Amino acid sequence: MKALVTGGAGFIGSHITDALLDAGHSVTVIDDLSRGRRAQVHPAARFVELDITSDGLAAAVADAKPEVVFHHAAQIDVRESVRDPLHDADVNVVGTVNVLRAAVDAGARRVVFASSGGAIYGNTEQIPTPEGHACLPESPYGTAKLCAEAYGGTFSRQAGLEFVALRYANVYGPRQDPHGEAGVVAIFALRLLGGDPPVINGDGTQTRDYVHVHDLVRANLAAIDGTPGIYNIGTGVETDVNTLYRMLAAECGAGGDAVHGPAKPGEQHRSCLDPSLTREQLGWSASINFAEGMRTTVDFFRNAS
């Protein structure tokens, strides 16, 4: 199969590229390298440096002739979306429409879209949260992802494009970007390994559902031929930030209490995804528990430093 991965030089996209190549598929990666790293792109993949909002995207996708497009290029920072919602919408809505249109024009069969479970649902009344729950995003980022899902449905109905939206929980693991404000496990791990206490925003009782990137990759591979639709990709297990800090500090061999700062706007208090539908329809469930996953992540940053 010919596959195309947008954002394939980034944290998640590079892992998906590796797995597709390992499975015998040919892969074209499109990435503007604004956050991704060229060194993370597998040498067997064909690489095109391009912004997904560019007018040149259609020609690049047509040249790749993909059967399946894995769309992971995005503005990923919730807080950045609060600071600059126009830029967030340009990348995450307009850019996604550009990818969908290019996929249809190139004759692609399916688009697998990297969506966001926590950001889309907002503060929910049901934990773990199923796909059928009302979506009340607390940030422009979540609103943009929800809008992009709606566009995927429109292209499916109008053009026959098979569309799968994977609503990710909080993804962590090797290659996660420890800089900026996205990726709390990577940020905390790098600071703890360097002897600098990380800052917990708010009182630390906010919870998230942490899913390892290797489990996420398996979900993307399952989505190649699975039933089109919207699926949660999470563990169904909540972990609060204070617990995360204690576990990471122990793994890094660091002592001392956490430093707390003010809470950040646009972030919900609890987030945990119900993966039941994904298990039933795609045959996927998470297999890496959080303690094991943290060990591999800390080892990666320890060896990379």
What is the dotted CATH code of the domain comprising 175-207+238-272+290-304? 3.90.25.10
Per residue of the chain (305 residues), give pLDDT as tens. Answer: 999 999 999 999 999 999 999 999 999 999 999 999 999 999 999 999 999 999 999 999 999 999 999 999 999 988 899 999 999 999 999 999 999 999 999 999 999 999 999 899 998 989 999 999 999 998 999 999 999 999 999 999 999 999 999 999 999 999 998 765 568 899 999 999 998 888 998 999 999 999 999 999 999 999 999 999 999 999 999 999 999 999 999 999 987 788 999 987 656 789 999 999 999 999 999 999 999 999 999 999 998 86
pTM above 0.85, yes or no: yes
Would the CATH topology of 2-171+211-234 be identical to that of 175-207+238-272+290-304? no
**What's the topology of domain 2-171+211-234?**
Rossmann fold (3.40.50)
In this predicted structure, what is the pLDDT of residue 243?
Answer: 95
**47 contacts: CB under 8 Å, gap ≥ 6:** 8, 9, 28, 29, 31, 38, 41
Instruction: Please give the pLDDT value at position 182.
Output: 64
The domain limits of the chain are 2-171+211-234, 175-207+238-272+290-304
Q: What is the pLDDT of residue 196?
A: 86
Q: Hey, which residues are catalytic here? A: 141
DSSP letters along the chain, please?
Answer: -EEEEETTTSHHHHHHHHHHHHTT-EEEEEE--SSS-GGGS-TTSEEEE--TTSTTHHHHHHHH--SEEEE------HHHHHH-HHHHHIIIIIHHHHHHHHHHHTT-SEEEEEEEHHHHH-S-SSSSBPTTS----SSHHHHHHHHHHHHHHHHHHHH--EEEEEEE-EEE-TT---STTS-HHHHHHHHHHTT-PPEEETTS--EE-EEEHHHHHHHHHHTTTSPPEEEEES-S--EEHHHHHHHHHHHHT--SPPEEEPPPTT--S---B--HHHHHHH-----S-HHHHHHHHHHHHHHH-
